[in-house]
Amino acid sequence: MIKLLIVDDSALMRRQLLTLFKAEGNFEIRQARNGKEAVDENREFKPDVITLDINMPEMDGITALSLIMADRPVAVVMVSSLTEKGALATFEALNLGAVDYIAKPGGTISLSIGEIKNELVNKVRAAARARIKGKTSSARGLTQRVRDEREKSASRPVAVRRGVVGEGLVIIGVSTGGPRTLEDILPLLPEDFPWPVLVAQHMPASFTRPFAERLNAMCALTVVEAAHPMPLEPGTVYIGKGGADILLTQRADKLTVIAKPENRDFLWHPSVELMGRSALEHCDPSRIVGVMLTGMGYDGADAFTEIKKYGGRTIAESEASAVVFGMPSELIERGGASLVLPSDEIAAQINIWAGR
C-alpha cells in the first residue's frame, strides 16, 4: 500500500486525482488544499509520495516543498504547467529535492487527467521506490566543486586510448531525476573539453529550451537545445528537443545533430535508443562514450550494449546514487556497462577518457 498525499487548490482536480488513484486499488490517500496543509499533512500522515501543485494560494508549492524537505524528506512529484514559467519553477523544485514532475496538458481538467493518467500513475509508483537525495549545492558550492574537480583532474594520470583524443563523442541517456543529476555532472567538464556531448533527457517540448539555458549558465561548455540541424562542434552540449528525437546525420561531410518528429515505435522521447543507434550508424564505435543515468524503463539499453560490444565505452550510474535505477540497471543486466559509477564520479571518468 502506497500512502499518497494529493495537494492542489482545485477541488475538481483533487477529486479527479482521488478517483484515478482509488481505481488503482493500492493507494491510501489524503488531500490538501494548499502548501500549508501539505506541510502539516506530511508531518501527520507521513505519506510515501506527494503530488504537489506549484501555483496555490496561502502557500505555493515551491515554498511548501522547501519546508517539506527540511522537515521530513519524502518523494515529491510536482504538477506543472506546460509553459516556460512552469518549466523554470519545475527546475527549482527538482533542485530543492522533488523526484519528478508531471506536466499538465491543456484543455478541461477531466480530459487532461485522461491524457496523463498512465504517466502519472507510473511516475507516482516509481517515486515511491525512488532514492531521495539531499539538497544540491548552492551556486557558490558548485563553483568550488568544479574548481576542486579540475585541480584533481590536472594531477590525475590520463588513461585514454591512443588516437581517441579529439575524435570522440559522448552520448548521455537520462530520465527521472535527470535534470538534477545532469547539473551535478556537466558543469565538471572543462572549457577545453575536446568532444561534443549529446543528451537525450525525457522531457516535454516546452521544457528543453529553458533547461538548456539553465545548464548553459552553469557550465564551462556551451549548452544548446538541438531544435534544428547543427554541425557537431567540440566543447558543445546538445540537449535533445522535447517532443522530438535527437539523431545524427551526415551533411556536406560534416556530422550534424538533428531533431526529428517522435518515432511512435518507441515509448520514450527524446529516445535514448534512437540516439544510440544513430551514433553507431554514423561513428566508429570506438569513438563513442555512452553514459546511462537515472530513469524508469529500459530506453537505450540495447543500443548502449551494442556500443560496448563493438569497442565503445559505457558508464551506468550506480544504484547508490540513481534516483530511479531502472535504465542503468537494464544496461548492467545486458552486460552493456564498461563501468558502474556513482554520479559524482562520472564526470571525472569522462574527463580521463577525453584526455582531460
Task: With CA atoms as reference, report the closest residue to 76 among 200, 213, 180.
Answer: 180
Three-class secondary structure of residue 94 per DSSP:
helix
Omega of the bond prior to 47 within 30 degrees of 0, cis?
Answer: no
Among residues 175, 278, 318, 321, the one annotated as catalytic is 175
The gap from C-alpha 4 to its chain's centroid, in whole angstroms, comes to: 23
Q: What is the DSSP string of 162-216?
A: TTTTTS-EEEEEE-TTHHHHHHHHGGGS-TT--S-EEEEE---HHHHHHHHHHHH
Q: Considering 48, 53, 184, 299, which one is annotated as catalytic?
A: 299
Q: How far is CA 267 from CA 113, 136, 297, in A?
A: 19, 30, 9
Q: Which amino acid is at 117?
A: K
Of the candidates 157, 224, 156, the one whose C-alpha atom is nearest the C-alpha of residue 186 is 224
Beginning with the edge strand found earlier in the chain, give each strand of the sheet holding 222-226 in spatial order.
Answer: 222-226, 236-240, 197-201, 169-174, 288-292, 313-317, 339-341
Contact 53, 79 (CB under 8 A): yes
The values of phi and psi at residue 61, to 5°, are -65, -35
Which residue among the candidates 48, 80, 202, 271 is catalytic per the annotation?
202
| 202 included as an active-site residue | yes
Kind plus residue range of the DSSP H or E element containing 226: strand 222-226
Tell me if residue 344 falls in helix, strand or coil. Answer: helix
Active site (catalytic) residues: 175, 202, 299
